[in-house]
């Protein structure tokens, strides 16, 4: 069969899709991608075809424009050229890319969605009573994307459809691959029936510059715990970089910080820090004691895959950070802080708790590691995609099987 992937212009979206595409290719299927030209280098390294946009190649699937109706229209037009050129049997999109859903409907193609580590749309699984203000925000986010989706469908003269109730959510497609497990997501039975929990689908880089390897060797020799930090974007809110540097400068701990997604340049770098735009987490995490991040899917799944406790400071925006931070706290694998709460003193105290050798949060993270290892990952996701290609109809979840791995 032939699978056409559509990825947003972010490595956090692209690399899991590459992992899944490679799994399908290893089974004899043909795979190709549509995405922004900035992602072309990673696809070439993976030996996977990127179909260019025509008549002139250019921006598309821009992460910062996710959900915008004009960007969605551009995605649809790009995909329609690729459908003609590649003749796929299945489209595989992403949770925040609406174009594949519309293109799949227009061309009668079964469409799968590769999700994040939290289901970000409204459902009965939400912590409505615990965090009602959060649930209201989830509903507003969903309504904003629905407005864009309806407008795009109207632009292409598709007939009106009724999407009342979370079980009729169009954003799950015919198959939704949630990169989580029941013990993290919770209340799986309340999710739309097309949602399947497949665990982690990862393809992180293990290439490391010699300086990083030497830095890690020095940390091991010194017996110093390593903290992996990924500051990320905070938009108008205060970030945690300056408090982190103030709290841990000169302390008996080593910090590997991946800062390429920060809103502003780093200030002076303490001597016990290793800082780069991109520090590959797959190189650092086997040697790390804990993870500090903004609660993005990539960083959280990396930590849980290695059984590491988390300190989460959600940065906001329209993505999954708040959703995932709530789930991690509920599962007992993370401490959470609001950006406004972060000072050198408060952050330093939380990091001391995080690095403690035998705590409930560390034990919970180790149990989560075992559960993710048993969830199936890319092979299970590929099994479901093969089934979608054969049956060409929605793939509905068997709830007892979905709750087997906790």
What is residue 403's predicted lDDT score, i.e. its pLDDT? 44
Q: Is residue 204 part of a domain?
A: no
Do residues 14 and 123 share a domain? yes
- Residue-wise pLDDT for 347-402, tens only, equals 999 999 999 999 999 999 999 999 999 999 999 999 999 999 999 999 999 855 44
Do residues 18 and 157 share a domain? yes
d(CA 147, CA 11): 27
Most confident of 72-86, 200-214, 266-280: 72-86
Reply yes or no on whether the pLDDT at 180 is more than 50.
Answer: yes
Do residues 149 and 236 share a domain? no
Do residues 311 and 248 share a domain? yes
d(CA 36, CA 99): 14
Reply yes or no on whether the pLDDT at 316 is more than 90.
Answer: no
Whether the full predicted model's pTM is greater than 0.75, yes or no, is yes
Q: Domain range for residue 365?
A: 210-372
Q: How many angstroms separate the first and last alpha carbons of the chain?
A: 33
- Residue-wise pLDDT for 108-123, tens only, equals 999 999 999 999 998 8
Q: Is residue 137 part of a domain?
A: yes
What is residue 130's predicted lDDT score, i.e. its pLDDT? 61
Do residues 368 and 380 share a domain? no
Do residues 130 and 249 share a domain? no
Do residues 234 and 247 share a domain? yes
- How would residue 124 be classed by pLDDT, with cut points 50, 70 and 90? low
Mean pLDDT score of the chain: 91
Do residues 152 and 24 share a domain? yes
Cβ(244)–Cβ(347) below 8 Å: yes
d(CA 19, CA 84): 25
Do residues 356 and 228 share a domain? yes
Specify the number of domains making up the chain: 2
Do residues 223 and 313 share a domain? yes
d(CA 367, CA 43): 34
Residue with tokens 């059984």: 307
Do residues 165 and 250 share a domain? no
What's the burial of 132, exposed, middle or buried (CB within 10 Å: 0-12/13-18/19+)? exposed
Q: Is residue 73 part of a domain?
A: yes
CA separation, residue 140 to residues 68, 126, 135, 137, 232 (Å): 15, 14, 9, 5, 24
What is residue 178's predicted lDDT score, i.e. its pLDDT? 97
d(CA 106, CA 159): 11
Do residues 98 and 222 share a domain? no
Once rounded to an integer, what is the mean pLDDT over residues 178-202? 94
Residues in the chain: 406
Contacts of 358 (CB under 8 A, 6+ apart): none
Reply yes or no on whether the pLDDT at 164 is more than 80.
Answer: no
CATH number at 286 reads 3.40.50.2000
Contacts of 50 (CB under 8 A, 6+ apart): 32, 33, 34, 35, 37, 39, 40, 43, 44
What is residue 216's predicted lDDT score, i.e. its pLDDT? 96
């Amino acid at each position: 069969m032939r699978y056409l992937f559509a990825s947003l212009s972010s490595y956090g979206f692209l690399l899991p899709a590459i992992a899944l595409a490679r799994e399908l290719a290893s089974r004899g299927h043909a795979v190709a991608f549509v995405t922004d030209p900035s992602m072309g280098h990673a696809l070439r390294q993976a030996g996977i075809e990127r179909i260019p946009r025509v008549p002139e190649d250019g921006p598309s699937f821009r992460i910062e424009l996710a959900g915008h109706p004009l960007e969605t229209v551009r995605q649809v037009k790009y995909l329609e050229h690729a459908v003609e050129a590649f003749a796929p049997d299945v489209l595989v999109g992403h949770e925040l890319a609406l174009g594949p859903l519309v293109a799949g409907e227009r061309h009668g193609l079964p469409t799968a969605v590769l999700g994040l580590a939290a289901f970000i749309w409204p459902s009965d699984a939400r912590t409505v009573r615990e965090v009602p203000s959060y649930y209201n925000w989830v509903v507003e986010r969903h309504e904003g994307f629905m407005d864009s989706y309806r407008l795009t469908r109207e632009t292409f003269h598709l007939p009106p459809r009724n999407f009342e109730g979370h079980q009729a959510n169009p954003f799950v497609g015919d198959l939704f691959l949630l990169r989580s497990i029941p013990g993290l997501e919770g209340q799986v039975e309340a999710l739309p029936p097309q949602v399947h929990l497949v665990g982690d689908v990862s393809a992180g880089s293990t290439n490391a510059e010699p300086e990083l390897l030497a830095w890690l060797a020095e940390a091991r020799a010194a017996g110093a715990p390593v903290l992996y930090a990924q500051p990320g974007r905070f938009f108008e809110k205060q970030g945690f970089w300056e408090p982190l540097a103030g709290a841990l400068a000169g302390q008996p701990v080593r910090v590997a910080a991946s800062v390429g997604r920060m809103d502003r340049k780093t200030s002076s770098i303490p001597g016990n820090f290793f800082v780069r735009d991109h520090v590959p987490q797959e190189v650092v995490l086997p040697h790390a004691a804990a993870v500090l991040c903004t609660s993005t899917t990539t960083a959280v799944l990396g930590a849980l895959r290695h059984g590491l406790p988390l300190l989460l400071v959600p940065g906001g925006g329209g993505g999954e950070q708040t959703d995932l931070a709530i789930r991690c706290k509920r599962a007992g694998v993370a401490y959470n802080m609001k950006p406004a709460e972060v000072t050198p003193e408060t952050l330093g105290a939380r990091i001391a708790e995080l690095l403690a050798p035998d705590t409930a949060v560390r034990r919970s993270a180790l149990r989560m590691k075992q559960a993710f290892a048993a969830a199936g990952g890319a092979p299970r996701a590929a099994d479901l995609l093969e089934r979608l290609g054969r049956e060409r109809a929605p793939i509905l979840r068997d709830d007892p099987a979905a709750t087997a791995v906790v």
